[in-house]
Each structure stands twice: as C-alpha cells, then as structure tokens.
Amino acid sequence: MKKNNIIVNFIVMHKVSYAVGFVFLFLSSYVTAQFPRVLGNAIDILKVNKFDVMKVKLNILYMLIIAATIFVATYFWRNLVIGNGRKLENYIRELLFQHLQQLSPEFYNRKKTGDLIAYAINDINAVRMTFGPATAMTVNGIVISVTSIYSMFTVVNWRLTLISLVPIPFIVIFMVKAGITIRQRFRKVQECFSLISDRVQENINGIRVIKAYVQEEQEVERFEKLNEQMKEANIRMVQISSILRPTIEICFSVSFVLNLILGGNMVLNSTISLGEFIAFNTYLTIIMAPIISIGRIINIFQRGMASYKRLTDIIDEEPDVTDGAALANNEISGNIEIKDLSFRYPGAVRNSLNNINLTIPKGHTVGIIGRTGSGKSSIANVLLKLFNVRNGKILLDGIDINDYKLKTLRKGFSLVPQDNFLFSATIKENIAFFMDSYSKQNIENAAKLSCIYNSIMKFEHGFDTVIGERGVNLSGGQKQRISIARAIIRDPSVLILDDALSAVDTITEAEILANLKTLRENRTTIVIAHKISSVAEADEIIVMDNGAIVERGSHEELLKFKGVYYDIYKEQEKDSKRNIL
C-alpha cells in the first residue's frame, strides 16, 4: 500500500458519512455567520422611539432559530466528521499492526520496540487529530470567515472592513512559517518519546538482570538523561507554539482599535448605523475565534503530517520474505531435502551455512549438534523461510520452498525456539495459542507429553493460572515444557526443537524424547541441541562446525569415528562427573 492511498482509501470507504457531516458543518458555519446581522437589525429597531414590537419579537425568534440550528447541525457534524477521525485512528492502527505481522525478522533487527510502540500510540493519535478535529476546525473557520467577511463588505462598509482586516495577512504568513518549525521540532519530540519507551520496556523486561548486577542507580541516571532530552525537545516546541496565540491576539487588538476609531466616527457621521457597527464588531469577534485557532490547527497539522510521514515510512516497508506461487493446498507431509545450501544473514560478513546437503525422509528424527555459533539454528530459520534462500536449495516434498505460500509452509512446521516466548495469559491459553479449536483433553494430553502436567496441577488455579509477562514467574524448564506442549498440540508434519531441552533435567529430557518418539512415529522431527543426550536416539545425527556439516551418522557410528562428536561427548562426560562430585 502506497503512503498517499491510506487517507484516500479511508475517505472513499466513508464518503457518505463525510459528505453528510460536511453538509451539516457548512450549515452550522453559515448560520453562525448570520447571527450578527440579525442582532444588528434588532438593535436598529430598538433605537426608534416607537419601535415595532412584532419586529423585535420576530428578530428574537430568528436568533432562537439560529441557535437551535447551530446546536443540531453541530451535533451531527461533530459525530460524523470527528467520529470518522476516531474510525481513521482505528483503521490505521489495524493496518499498521497487520503490516507489522507481515514484515520479516530483518526489519525487527533494525527497529527498536519503543519506536514501534510510539508509532502505534503517539503517531496514530496525531494523525487522528489532524484528519478529525483539525480538519473540521479548518473547514468551519474558512466558512465562517468567508461568510462573515462577505457580510462585512456588503452589509456594513467595505472601507472599514479592509482597514480592520489589514493585520490578518501578516498573521497567516507568520502562522505558515511557524508551522514549519513546529513540524521539525515535533519530529524530535516523537524520536525522544521512542527512546524513552524503548528504555522503559527494556528495563521492565530486564529488571532481574539489573537487580542482580546492582545497576538500578546507573539505569536511573541513563533514564534521567533521556527524560531531560524529552523535556528539552518539548520546551523547544512549546517555545515556538506558545508565540502563536499572543501574536494573533495582538494583531486582532490592532483590528479592534482601528474599528473603534474609524467605526465610531462613521456612526457619529451616520455613515453606518449603531446596529451595523455592533454587527461589524460581532463579525470581527466571530472571525477572531477561527483565526486564533489557526495557531492550534497549524500545530496539529504539522504534528500530524510529521507522524503521518513516520507511519507511511513503516507501511511502505516491503517484507523481505514473500509468498511463492499459489500452492495453498499443497500441505507439507515431511520430506525435506537441502541441496548445496549456503546462507548468509543480511548485513553479515560471512556465511552462517556453507554447502549444506541433507535429506530427511518423512517420519525420521534427525539430531543436529555442534558448538555455539556452528549454524544449527540457521537451518531452522531457513526451513521456516524466515530468511530468503535461492531457488532449488531447499525442497519440501519435492517442491521448492520458494513455491509455497508462507502460511501453508509454516502451518506444516512447529518450532520450539531457544528463546521461549510465553504470553501474559493463562497456561491453557499459552498451550492452545488462544485457539478455541482445542479441547480441554487436547491441552491436557499435550501437557502430559511434554512432562509439564504435574507442575501445572501444583499451581492453585491449574491450567487457568495466569503467568507473568514472558512467563517471568516460571522456571526456565517450565517455560520450555509449556512451549513444547504448544508445539505438540498442533501435531505438525515437521517439529523442530531448537535447543528446547537445555533447561530440563536428564530424566525429564529422556521422558519427553520417549513420548515424542511414540507420538511422532510417522512425523518428521528435528532436534537441535548442545547436549549429546538430546540427540543420541535420533535416526541420524548431523554434526556442524563453522556452518558446515563435518560428520553424520548414528550415535554409535560417530563415537567410533572419534571426531568432533566424540570430543563433545567426552567434554560433556567430564562435566557430568564433575557435577556428581
């Protein structure tokens, strides 16, 4: 979606409500501008010694009708036009969130969480104010001002009108120039807000690390610096925006002085009547309100356009990873073939995978082991197409991975990543991933297979226990087992455990692996691990080093070979003996 289409698309979708709203807005503004004329007529009638009472009553009735019309018209246009502003806010927020779901992991490597939160809250609110209240105030002000000035020219005196309105062009020029500065300074305010949001979010998520390293005071000092920058940015913006209203008021004060001097003389000379003079002053007062609001409107518009630019920059971001050909019905059964695959992460200086060749038949369990940084997790990332690979390098059931739709591709996989993410919700909701299609029995069975059932039942509320943000009130092993249960319940064609058993004890690990072997007899399973015990029972074990496969075979074959796998086995055997001692 291109940036110029967002607002246009929304207006087209709500064209009827906008049209009706602006009709009422024009009606309200036009009727408001008729009030001074009726008031002036009434005063001129009252000047006569023997005035016509019926004419006075008729003018009073006109004023009441004007007031009632303004009330009704204002009610409808505010509900329709400003109400659409709220709908626009909702529309852009949903559009942004949907777009964020489609963007590739590389995008999130470049953007900070606090910045994205600022987009979804502050920036969208600024756009809503621009295309809601500010737009309505602009149209309302233009109609009232044009109608009032026209009446001042035709009904009262064109010379007095020209002289009284001399300061207004200077006001408009000043407003436009000040608006450009406001826009630049508001952008800086938004950037500071993003930095503060990011700092708060990081501190909340990392509070245990901060306390463990006694860094509270240092974090407060860092936050104070950011807070000071935010204050300075806001003050600099206020310094320019606060000039607007006083400047307008001074200019209008000049207008009123000129009007009192010239208009007063005209009344004395009978060039205009007293009623016309009062009507003229009332018109001037009516014009003053929208002109004064120009400062606020320009402020809002400049903020909104700065925010709109930030939002459209995000929405114009194209996902690095996209759908392949329309093969939505080709469900993955579990046959995987990797041919001469080399892979490098965006921005990296060297390959993470080098010349990988691997065939995994459906129903097999493959273990992938290697030291830290050997490229194990990179295989999981490319199989899920989190990053692009060249055509012909990965085949799933004989079909190129790049020919699959992403939704179809990823529905065939379940991944339990190293960084287990749990939502601040109930355990039941975390296992079912908020899907209603799973029964209570399904959830309990998944929990039993992942060996977390007994731990859950020890909680006061069992499966209805609400866990803290990111599972903060659970142990590492509990979080891993809930994540495994979430993967198991989907019964995927391919299950990938990416170092998902690192935080569980050896006995529990063996029980989980035994359960998976029975459960996934005809399904493909990939176990990525550091520990030999996690992969020892696999049909084939792949040993990786520096992004390449250096050994492959069964547990017994690799031990006999006495290569890298054997060295890892011996190291872990020594560590195990030290722990026992």
pLDDT digits (tens, 9 = 90+) for 285-304: 888 778 777 767 877 887 78
Backbone angles phi, psi at 359, to 5 degrees: -120, 125
Q: Can you tell me whether residue 341 is helix, strand or coil?
A: strand
60-69, 323-332, 544-553 — which is least confidently predicted? 323-332
Residue whose pair of structure tokens reads 């006995």 in the numeric block: 507
Percent of the chain with pLDDT over 70: 95
Sheet containing 399-400: order of strands: 353-360, 336-343, 394-396, 399-400
How far apart are alpha carbons 215 and 395 in whole angstroms?
49
Q: Which of 415, 385, 381, 414 is nearest to 400 (CA)?
A: 385
Q: ∠ CA(284), CA(287), CA(290), 5° rounding? A: 155
The Cα–Cα gap between 187 and 304 comes to 10
> Rounded to 5 degrees, what are φ and ψ at 349?
-100, -15
What pLDDT does 3 receive? 47
> Distance between CA 158 and CA 151 in Å, rounded?
9
Q: What confidence tier does 369 reach under pLDDT thresholds 50, 70, 90?
A: very high
Tokens of 137: 């105030």
Asked whether the beta carbons of 369 and 568 are under 8 A apart, the reply is yes
Per-residue pLDDT tens digits for 410-463 = 889 999 988 788 888 899 998 988 788 889 999 999 999 999 999 999 988 899
Least confident of 177-191, 346-360, 538-552: 177-191
Burial of 345 (0-12, 13-18, 19+ CB in 10 A): middle
Q: Residues of 188-207 as b/e, b for ≥16 C-beta within 10 angstroms? A: bbbbbbbbbbbbeebbeeee
pLDDT at 200 over 50: yes
CA distance 489 to 484: 9
Assess contact for 183 and 305: CB atoms under 8 A.
Answer: yes
What type of residue is 573?
E
Strand pairing report for 394-396 and 399-400: antiparallel
- The structure's pTM equals 0.72
Count each helix (H run) and each strand (E run) in the chain, helices first.
24, 10
Could you report the per-residue pLDDT of 233-284, keeping only the tens digit for each? 888 888 877 777 787 778 778 877 887 888 888 888 878 888 888 888 888 8
What span, in angstroms and rounded, lies between the C-alpha atoms of 358 and 285?
81
pLDDT beyond 80 at 208: no
For residue 415, the SS3 value is strand
Q: pLDDT tens, 511-524?
A: 999 999 888 888 99
Q: What is the pLDDT of residue 581?
A: 47
Q: Mean pLDDT throughout 459-469?
A: 85
Residues 137-140: contacts with CB under 8 Å, at least 24 apart = 137/290, 137/293, 137/296, 137/297, 138/297, 139/22, 139/25, 139/26, 139/29, 140/25, 140/28, 140/29, 140/290
- Closest C-alpha among 112, 96, 35 to residue 69: 35
What 3-state class would DSSP assign to 550? strand
Separation of alpha carbons 115 and 136, rounded Å: 30
Q: Please name the residue that has the structure tokens 């320019």.
A: 240
Query: Mind listing the pLDDT tens digit for each residue in 61-97?
Result: 988 999 999 999 999 999 999 899 899 999 998 888 8
* Alpha-carbon distance values, 118 to 111, 195, 314, 472 (Å): 12, 9, 12, 25
Question: Would you give the DSSP letter of residue 392?
Answer: T
Task: Give me the half-sphere count of Cα atoms (radius 13 Å) on the Cβ side of residue 66.
Answer: 17
Q: How many CB atoms lie within 10 A of CB 347?
A: 8
Quote the CA–CA distance of 302 and 130 in Å, as a whole number.
Answer: 8
Answer with the residue of higher pLDDT: 47 or 10: 10
What architecture (CATH level 2) is domain 5-184+241-315?
A: Up-down Bundle (1.20)
- Contact (CB, 8 A) for 275 and 41: yes
Give tens-digit pLDDT for 549-578. Answer: 999 999 999 999 888 999 988 888 876 665
CA distance 501 to 364: 19
Give the pLDDT score at 49: 63
Report the alpha-carbon distance of residue 229 to residue 181 in Å, rounded: 18
Mean pLDDT of the chain: 85
- Confidence bin at 1 (pLDDT 50/70/90): very low
Categorize the per-residue pLDDT at 167 as very low, low, confident or very high, splitting at 50, 70 and 90. confident
CATH superfamily of 419-491: P-loop containing nucleotide triphosphate hydrolases (3.40.50.300)
First and final C-alpha spacing in the chain: 63
CA 93 to chain centre: 6
Quick check: 352 and 345 in contact, CB under 8 A?
Answer: yes
Domain ranges of the chain: 5-184+241-315, 419-491
Count CB neighbours of 278 within 10 A: 18
* Structural contact between residues 227 and 220, judged by C-beta atoms closer than 8 angstroms: no
